Amino acid sequence: NAGVTQTPKFRILKIGQSMTLQCTQDMNHNYMYWYRQDPGMGLKLIYYSVGAGITDKGEVPNGYNVSRSTTEDFPLRLELAAPSQTSVYFCASSYSTTNTGELFFGEGSRLTVL
């Protein structure tokens, strides 16, 4: 099993550019999440999905969009990149419907916006 796979691992963007971070999982988990991690801060939830066709905003959704057309895939779209979006992004999935189960994380995508 590959688990949760994220691409790309590293990316440099110019201000105003757009890009999509890809995330796929092969564990048949219904719950999927996108987090960002900034130095000295806890993980912040951007968006999450409870199943195909259903997405919802987390704590810090501004500047981002997601879609969930299949159980496996949960891409994160950055529109009009800004320096404040420089961060490490983690996709995660879980079998739990109540945040009482283990999260399985992808390896992370390090994004720099210049």
Partner 1 sequence: GQNIDQPTEMTATEGAIVQINCTYQTSGFNGLFWYQQHAGEAPTFLSYNVLDGLEEKGRFSSFLSRSKGYSYLLLKELQMKDSASYLCAVTDSNYQLIWGAGTKLIIKP
- Closer residue to partner 1, CB minimum distance, 66 or 103: 103
Q: How far apart are CA 71 and CA 113, in angstroms?
A: 30
> What's the closest the beta carbon of residue 16 comes to partner 1, in angstroms?
28
Question: What is the smallest separation between the CB atom of 21 and partner 1, expressed in angstroms?
Answer: 14
Using H for helix, E for strand and C for coil, what is the string for 70-101? Answer: CCCECCEEECCCCHHHCEEEEEEEECCCCCCC
- Three-class SS of residue 61? coil
- Of the two residues 2 and 41, which places its CB atom closer to partner 1 in the complex? 41
CB of 15 to partner 1, least distance (A): 25
Which residues in this chain contact partner 1 in the complex, by CB under 8 A?
A: 40-45, 90, 98-108
Minimal distance, residue 85 CB to partner 1, in Å: 19
Q: Nearer Cβ to partner 1, position 16 or 51?
A: 51
Q: In degrees rounded to 5, what are phi and psi of residue 74?
A: -145, 75
And the tokens for 21? 């971070």
Between 3 and 16, whose beta carbon lies closer to partner 1? 3
Question: Where are the alpha helices (H) located in the chain, listed in sequence order?
Answer: none
